[in-house]
A and B are shown apart, each in its own frame.
Chain A
Amino acid sequence: MITIVLADDHHIVRQAMRALLETVPDFKLVGEAGDGLEAVRTVERLTPGVLVCDLMMPALNGLEVARQVAQRTRTRVLILSMHSNDAYVSEALSNGAAGYVLKDCQSSELIHAIREIAAGRRYLSPQISERAIELYGRKFGNMPEDPYQTLTTREREVLQLAAEGRTNAQISERLFISPRTIETHRANLMRKLGLQNHGELIRYAVKRGIISLDG
């Protein structure tokens, strides 16, 4: 017998889910909650095997519910969501959810998912599983180690010309843009590279091989 608590802020969704779960003989719906806070309290009180929880809920969203439940109880959390986006999935999993199912799944899939996580495994909807697993546990995106990588092409051009000793006015003539704009690029690139003044800019450029002192 798998005991289940159901949390969703939409009455109609709860009603439909209840109807579905009641068709499965070894499932037992022991409680329902209409918001995140109530969900956490109900789980703590009833300690069901599985919490089926909507991602978007008032008071406390599903991600936070998953985190608190995973921390405080042994109840397994299945997130039910409209969002197939990796970021949500990854966030849910790292918050301690055991499974993540899209709301437009077939009813058979939902039943299967509940069984899987109740058995101690993890479950993700097929549409999302591959990428999310690939993503999960790894820091994503390109966060450059080297601040130089954060410079735009334009900022790199300005950096080089400034390091070569050209004034803003001269750079402006060279790149056909206003001195004011050059000034913005220059301020931004110096901030990105952590440079305080022109001397540091030149030292940086020499160190990076952007300019050479022999030239």
Chain B
Amino acid sequence: MAPDPIHVLLIEDDRSHAHIARALIKSGDDSISCDWVETLADGLNRLDAGGIDVVLLDFGLPDSHGLDTFLRLQAHSPSVAVIPLTGTGDDALALKAVHLGAQDYLFKGAVNQQLLTRTIRYAFERKRQEEALRRARDELELRVAERTAELRDLYDAERRARETAETLRAANLALTRSLNLDEVLTSLLDCLAHLVPYDSACVMLHTGDSQLGVYVAHGYEQWPQSEPMRRIVFDAQAHPHLGRILFQGESVLIPDTSEEPSWDATIGGGAVIRNWLGVPLAARGRVIGLYSMDKGAPGFFTAEHRQLAEMLTAQAAAAIDNARLFADVHSREEQLRALSRRLVEVQESERRLIARELHDEIGQMLTGLKLLLGTALRLPPETMGERLSQAQELLNELMGRVRNLSLDLRPAMLDDLGLLHALFWHFERYTQQTGIEIQFTHTGIEGRRFAHEIETAAYRLIQEALTNVARYAGVGNASVHVWASDDLLTVQVEDRGCGFDPETAIAAGRSNGLAGMRERAELLGGSLTIDSSPGAGANLTANLPLKAHDEDSSSQNGEGRDAE
């Protein structure tokens, strides 16, 4: 195998020495070629041009001197083998160069052809191996660095996963610690802050159709001109990103709100919030709300934040759901207690009323009747007839009184003939007594009977609402609509009278019966909506479920009856 060709650069300002060296190289080995320059600067230029394997370097050059010449060359081309050429007796300098990385050294004048070519070839080979070694070592170091970085990443990921797991566990504890909705929601926002470092955040709960109400909020006070977030109600139809969460159940990340046309900058710091993340809360298969996280700077929230926030949703939704159920049960219990208290009161006042009616009216008439009959007996037969017919008149009036008393207590018609007949009868009597005309429409109730408690509730709701109209509304007419489908009975009483503020009216308590009406509806699993404002008339709508009620009518029966 032919030896590798070696290209030598001779840097030597002494022409005679240079001449000798070149001649020796040329005559010695065909595979070695040689270039020659006289200064270090030219040498470095030649090295830049490339292709040089070995440099024969004279230390004393016009533009450089001594060991410095070697160091400058080595710094310039570290991968080229360098063989210093020194004068005899300069061993110390030559050895120093070897220590610093020169491959070998030669004394000028003590060089023959064989020594020169061998030195050159050895230097070349050694340098080549050194280079290979160096590359291998570099490679190895690179690998080690890479693996170290990988290990560090793994370690970081593991640490983060552990922190996340701990946060989630802490969240679980915090969320299940309380059944109070506000407390649950507050600790939800606290836990969330550990996972996703938001600037401000709030929890919105679904309150019907497309309504989302803010229940708790953190951090909004930092935004300029931000009103209190709590109790704001958002319409998901008007905010597409809320709509996507509520209706499609998917998280939404808005990297930059200023590039989002549907972003509403007018609410709750919306003008300065630049980055938004919303995550749905789903319990028992439906979206019950969402949490909304804000950041003042755009592009902060990442897909990982989103994942972390989503991890919290299942347990958060379950906790919220539980708290709401609990609150529901709790308030129902309260309502029941209040209602039974009121029932006792109502019962007492009705008894008082009946007692008075029996004593003051009917009792007096009976006394009169007794006196009439007593005197009639002592009269001669020809005048007795007049007294007896007086007695008969009194008796007829008495019968009328008793009938009215009984009807006031409860119209038998409601049981005998059902809601529709009872209502007609009531409207007629009502108009006679108050002069207020009733416009009545009904759908789906003719020829149909409902559970006793439903018919009673519907009848009483209308009766009480109309009593209020007569007492407060100051109008000459009112309208009543009753509408039944398979599963719902809707009862509506509307007037265009003077109206009232529902909250004040309910708080005013017993006199107007609104709270009692609402309880009546809610006890049957229904609802009462009071829509009124001063000067704008009033509309009362009660929705009473029909099917749901049938299922538990046994437990409700007692309540309905007692209420009468």
Contacts and interface: CB of A to CB of B under 8 A. Distances in A.
Interface of A: 56, 61, 63, 82-83, 85-88, 91, 103-104, 139-144, 147, 149-154, 167-170, 176-177, 179-181, 183-188, 191-192
Contacts of B483: 150, 188, 192
B443 interface: yes
Contacts of B446: 139, 141, 143
B235 A150 contact: no
A192 B400 CA distance: 41
B443 A192 contact: yes
B494 A142 contact: no
Interface of B: 207-211, 233-235, 237-238, 396, 399-400, 403, 412-413, 416-417, 420-421, 424-425, 439-443, 446, 479, 481, 483, 485, 488, 490, 492, 494, 496, 527, 529-531, 533, 536-537, 539, 541, 543
A22 B33 CA distance: 161
A167 B235 contact: yes
Contact of B531 (A151, A167, A185): A185
B366 to A, nearest CB: 16
Counting chain B CB atoms within 10 Å of each CB, the highest count among A61, A91, A181 belongs to A181
A183 B208 contact: yes
A152 B492 contact: yes
Contacts, number: 118
A176 B536 CA distance: 10
Contacts of A144: 441, 443
Most buried by A among B238, B403, B416, B439: B416
A185 B420 CA distance: 23
A154 B537 CA distance: 10
A177 B233 CA distance: 13
A150 B416 contact: no
Secondary structure of the A contact surface, majority rule: helix
B444 to A, nearest CB: 9
A188 B490 contact: yes
A83 B403 CA distance: 8
Contacts of B490: 188, 191-192
Contacts of A177: 531, 533
B424 A87 contact: yes
A191 B211 contact: no
Contacts of A150: 441-443, 481, 483
The 4 closest A-B pairs by CB, nearest first: A87-B421, A169-B235, A184-B529, A154-B539
B420 A141 contact: yes
Nearest to B535: A176
A77 to B, nearest CB: 17
Given A168-B210, A176-B536, A181-B529, 15 more contacts: A56-B412, A85-B413, A85-B425, A88-B413, A141-B442, A143-B442, A152-B479, A154-B494, A169-B234, A169-B235, A169-B238, A179-B235, A184-B529, A187-B209, A188-B490
A152 B413 contact: no
Given A140-B424, A177-B531, A147 B417 contact: no
